[in-house]
Amino acid sequence: MKLLAGVLLLAAFAASPEIRYFRYQRPVQNLPQRSGQACLVLDAGIFAHAAPQLADLRVYRDSTETPYVNRVAAPVETGEKSIAPIDLGVRGGQTVFDAELPDGRYTDLQLAVTAKNFIATVTVSGSRAQTGGAETRLGSFTIFDLTSQKLGRSTVLHLPESDFRFLHFRIAGPVSPESVTGISVERLQANQPKFLTVAESSRIDTKGRSSVLEFTVPAHVPVDRIVFIPGSAPALFSREVGIAVAPLAAAPGSDGAEPPRTVTASGSLLRVHSVQNGQRIDEERLAIDAPAADFNTPAKWTVTIENGDDAPLSLESVRLQMLERRLCFEAAAEARYALFYGDPALTAPHYDYATLFAPQADALAVTAGPEQPNPAYQSRPDERPFTEKHPALLWIALLGVIALLGWIALRSTKRPTA
Q: Please name the helix (run of DSSP H) or strand (run of DSSP E) that holds residue 412, with its range, or none.
A: helix 391-414
Query: What is the structure's pLDDT at 384?
Result: 59
- What is the model's pLDDT at position 166? 93
Note whether 238 and 268 are within 8 A (CB): yes
Confidence at residue 5, expressed as pLDDT on a 0 to 100 scale: 45
User: What pLDDT shows up at residue 220?
Assistant: 94
Which pLDDT score, from 0 to 100, does residue 105 have? Answer: 82
Residue type at 153 in one-letter notation: R
Half-sphere exposure of 402 (CA within 13 A, CB side): 6
Which segments of the chain belong to CATH 2.60.120.260?
A: 81-187
- 39 touches 326 (CB < 8 A): yes
Class of domain 81-187: mainly beta
User: What is the model's pLDDT at position 3?
Assistant: 44
Q: Summarize the chain as % helix, strand, coil (round to 5).
A: 15, 45, 40
Task: State residue 174's pLDDT score.
Answer: 94
The whole-angstrom separation of Cα 36 and Cα 264 is 44
| Per-residue confidence (pLDDT) for residue 78, from 0 to 100 | 44
Output the pLDDT for position 389.
56
DSSP three-state, residue 199:
strand
Strands 58-61 and 337-341: antiparallel
Per DSSP, the residues of 7-22 read HHHHHHHSPPP-GGG-
Per-residue tens of pLDDT for the chain, all 418 residues: 444 444 434 444 568 999 999 999 999 999 888 899 999 999 999 999 999 999 999 999 999 999 999 998 765 444 456 899 999 999 999 999 999 988 888 888 999 999 999 999 999 999 988 887 788 999 999 999 988 888 888 999 988 888 899 999 999 999 999 999 999 887 656 567 889 999 999 999 999 999 999 999 999 999 999 999 998 878 889 999 999 999 987 655 445 556 678 999 999 999 988 777 777 778 889 999 999 998 889 999 999 999 998 999 999 999 999 999 999 999 999 899 999 999 999 999 999 999 999 999 889 999 999 999 999 999 988 665 656 655 676 777 777 788 778 777 777 776 565 4
CATH architecture of 195-323: Sandwich (2.60)
